[in-house]
Structure 1
Amino acid sequence: MKTISVPYTFTKAGYFYFSRRVPRDLVSQYRSKRVVIALKTRSAHQARALAGANAAKLEAYWVQLRLASSDIPGLHLVKSGVRSNSAYSLVNTVEPVSEDQTTLLDALQIYLRHKAKGRPKTFTAAAERSTAYVIKVAGNKALQEYTRADALKFRDWLVAKGLAGSSVTRNFSHIKAIINFACSELAIEMRNPFSGVFHDRTAGVVARKPIPLESIRNIQAACRDIDDDMRWLVALISDTGMRLAEAAGLLKSDIILDHDTPHVRLIKHPWRNLKTQGSQRLIPLVGDSLWAAERLLQADTASQFAFPRYNRQTTTSANAASAALNKWLSPYVPEGCTMHSFRHSFRDRLRQIECPTEIADQLGGWASYSVGQGYGEGYSLEVLASWISRAA
């Protein structure tokens, strides 16, 4: 039975499966009339992302199949040894024979081969999805053959698709990065036609709202009353400003309580990456965040994870955590506020006590914009604790 909330999927025994009918003109090239793939997840949010990525890959592959089955003008003029325009997978291509023949799919593979190492699967999925979009709109051509008209057509297609301005920006960022990197690697001299394309970046974008301090106090009180692992996660974030994925992917050993300054050590893990280099940091534990950390370590669980329910697979299920916690949080906060709003509130609370920007950036793992901020090891735990205690 198809699901309404997650396109191209159905559920079986609680798990999501990707399902897509093969187009009529390509059925002869398949052993089945339908492509069905187990997504190995019960999370609707995760299934939606995986299904979207699979659908984009299939669209791009079907474009290639159709090109391969059509008559290629001037094929008799192509030099022997040059790779034909036959269909090939997004993930199993090889280096092009000549940079003059480097297509967008070739550029994608060069980009991912070097850039995707150590990155989460979402990095690859996003790059592949944006590439598939361009191929659907303008075809898979040699990089030098793309024009400004193709870029404008791509922009208009994304807007017509209903994407918010921020999503349009992300798609263009991926394509620009892919083309620029391939050109740099292969010494191709060309102007990237996807650079500098105007679009309304604010269209459809909803501003993130901070949670009022009074609401935070009510939420923290509710967390102490209910006193379970989900509420510990909320409380841990409430006075630290951590991102939800950062907190959900913690090990128990990342929580250091036997120290003069109790703190959380945020580092990269194979199951949960960090957003930026500056996201790796130490955060003092105070107030309700300290209470939550103590309850976590007192919990009688055999797991090494602080939150086992969100780390049952190879990656931290941050989307599942977000869906469940946002639903619980809804009655306590103004409309438009989510778990991520704690992070906005954290910054505002630091502003209210006139916390220096450099300290606020270090506490929240926000990017630094000054060369001087990159010098030295940063502020000590004791200094950070004095400021975060005042904010809490």
Structure 2
Amino acid sequence: MLENISASHTFTKDGVYYFVRRVPTALRRHYTSSRISYSLRTRSASIAASRAIRASAQLDEYWYHLRCRDTELPGKHMLRSGAVPIGPEPISSPGVTNGYMTLSECVGVYLRLKGKGKGTTFHRAAERSCGYVIDVCGDRPISEYKKTDANTFRDALIDRGMAGSSIVRIFGTVRSVINFAASEKGLDITNPFGKVYFDRTAGVKDRQPVPLDAIRIVQENCYLADDEMRWLVSLVADTGMRLAEAAGLASDDIVEGAEGRYFVRIQPHPWRRLKTPGSAREIPLVGSAFWAAQRIKAKQGGSRFAFPRYNKTNTTNANAASAALNKWLKTYVPDGATMHSFRHSMRDRLRAVECPADIVDQIGGWQTDGVGHGYGTGYPIPILRKWLVAVA
């Protein structure tokens, strides 16, 4: 939602300035959307105004060239037979300089081609990571970035207090964007954002599993509260599902099998994608997860979603679920433990009953190494149930 309209072609959202410009009707066939909108990555009105003016001027210039290219050549009807009309030199979109794309143009190519079918997280990661580079080093042709720029960028991320794991992800995304765009356009460059040294463990905190006694306390309090949020906690606690997987379940994904036993079918949906293809699986529901399935079936019968609270738009709001549930959990779990910690706990709980590693991987949707593990359909539900009963 647009709010707090200020400088020309800008608006603010949560205090951050965004650029917005409608594409002229005559030129919309060149675009996938009728509006250009992106973050200016600043909370300063003066900086936002400067960046917006620059972006608007670039667009005006580019749109002028597009209109010239689309216009019929004057006097074309007077050319001698067989003459070849010489049109304007081929142009590319703003950001292409001396045959090389700028980083912002690389992001566009990367998302247009490789981003098809990917979720918003994939798109945001590319835009955010390369946006950091642009803020620090400028939006330049990718052939002009040097090793010193990459080192300066690294130092800027460290100064922001980012953990080593976050810096790894950002550099990995920037490298991927540049490599992909350069390969796609046939550009021969050396990516300066490769082989940059930094401490990958700096500021990284190990995720702690929730101790078994704390899990029991959490489950008891879920039974007492008996509401949608606590059903979600209970479902995750005794399955080890990722929170987004559980929050995005359709009601029909919770299936009642023989003898009143339930299992959950984790599969991709338009509103919630899965992290990896191997994340699609079926998990028997026992313990608190079985209780949650019963409550969902009894109370959410008319809803398309198992958890409507977190599916009010066209995308599952897993971030809202995480924030609310982690806040509630603090009272019952050790410091540093979160909803994701139940996933770590499930792995430890299965180890404790000597569950075979490939069964553990199938329950959690983890990748099992080895070519042979890609064959067949995996263990049947009764085998999985036996091991989950042992831990629940």
TM range (shorter): 0.7 to 0.9
Show the 5 A alignment for 1:295-314.
Answer: 295-314=295-314
Q: How does 1:1-392 map to 2 (within 5 A)?
A: 30=8, 35-37=11-13, 54-56=39-41, 66=54, 81=89, 83=91, 100-259=99-258, 262-392=262-392
Q: Cα 1:61–1:183, aligned 2, differ >3 Å: closer, same or farther?
A: farther
Following superposition, the deviation at residue 286 of structure 1 comes to 0.9
- Are the equivalent residues in 1 in contact too, given 2:262–2:293 (CA < 8 A)? no
Amino acid at match of 1:203: A
Kindly state the Cα deviation for residue 235 of structure 1 after the two structures are TM-superposed: 0.6
Contact 2:265 2:281 in 1 (8 A): yes
Q: Given the superposition, is the C-alpha separation of residues 148 and 38 from structure 1 closer, same or farther in structure 2, using an over 3 Å criterion?
A: closer
Structure 2 distance, partners of 1:324, 1:226, is: 15
SS, match of residue 329 in structure 2 = helix
Higher RCO (CA-CA < 8 Å; seq separation 6+)? 1
Cα distance in 1 between the residues matched to 2:195 and 2:52 = 28
Per-residue deviation, 1:258: 2.8
Cα distance in 2 for partners of 1:112, 1:378 equals: 34
> Where do 5+ consecutive residues of structure 1 fail to align?
1-15, 23-29, 40-52, 71-79, 89-95
1: CA distance, partners of 2:108 / 2:184: 12
Moved over 4 A (4+): 16-22, 57-70, 82-86
What amino acid maps onto 2:275 in structure 1? Answer: K
Alpha-carbon distance change, 336 to 298 in structure 1, aligned in 2, over 3 angstroms = same
Change (3 A) 1:61 1:190: farther
CA contact (8 A) 2:110 2:181 kept: yes
Q: C-alpha deviations, 1:29-50, integer Å up to 9, x for none?
A: x26xx623599xxxxxxxxxxx
Aligned to 1:73: none
Match of 1:264, SS state, is strand
Closer, same or farther: CA 347–199 of 1 in aligned 2, 3 Å: same
Residue deviations 1:54-89 (CA, integer Å, cap 9, x gap): 34399899558549979xxxxxxxxx7364896x7x
CA drift of 1:268 comes to 0.5
CA RMSD for the aligned pairs? 2.8
Would the alpha carbon gap of residues 193 and 299 (structure 1) be closer, same or farther in structure 2, given more than 3 Å must change? same
Q: Deviations over 1:230-282 (max 9, x none)?
A: 11111111110001111111111000113465210000111111111111111
Work out whether residues 244 and 322 of structure 1, in 8 Å CA contact, stay in contact via their aligned partners in 2. Answer: yes
Deviation (angstroms), 1:304: 1.0
Instruction: Give the structure-1-normalised TM-score.
Output: 0.79
Return closer, same or farther for 1:164/1:18 CA change in 2, 3 Å cut-off. Answer: farther
Aligned length: 337
* Contact 2:361–2:367, Cα closer than 8 Å, also in 1: yes
Compute the displacement of 1:331 (Å): 0.9
Separation in 1 of the partners of 2:238 and 2:161? 36
Residue identity in the other structure for 2:245:
E
Once residues 347 and 17 of structure 1 are traced to their aligned partners in structure 2, the CA distance between those partners, rounded to angstroms, is 44
Report the alpha carbon displacement of residue 19 of structure 1 after superposing the two structures with TM: 5.6
Gaps of 5+ in 2: 16-37, 59-87
Query: Is the contact between residue 305 and residue 311 of structure 2 (CA under 8 Å) also seen in structure 1?
Result: yes
Tell me the amino acid that sits aligned with residue 291 of structure 2. Answer: W
The answer as to whether partners of 1:310 and 1:317 remain within 8 angstroms in 2 is yes
Check conservation: 2:2, 2:11, Cα contact below 8 A: no
1:111-166 CA-partner distances (Å, limit 9, x unpaired): 10112222221221221111111112222222222111111111111111221111
Contact 1:215 1:333 in 2 (8 A): yes
Question: Is contact 1:63–1:136 with CA below 8 Å preserved after alignment?
Answer: no
Contact 2:210–2:342 (CA<8 Å) still a contact in 1? Answer: yes
Larger radius of gyration between Structure 1 and Structure 2: 2
CA distance in structure 2 between the partners assigned to 1:211 and 1:250 by the alignment = 24
Give 1:241's aligned amino acid: G
Q: Which amino acid aligns with 1:302?
A: G
Q: 1:18 to 1:377 in 2, by over 3 A?
A: farther
Alignment partner of 1:336: what SS?
coil
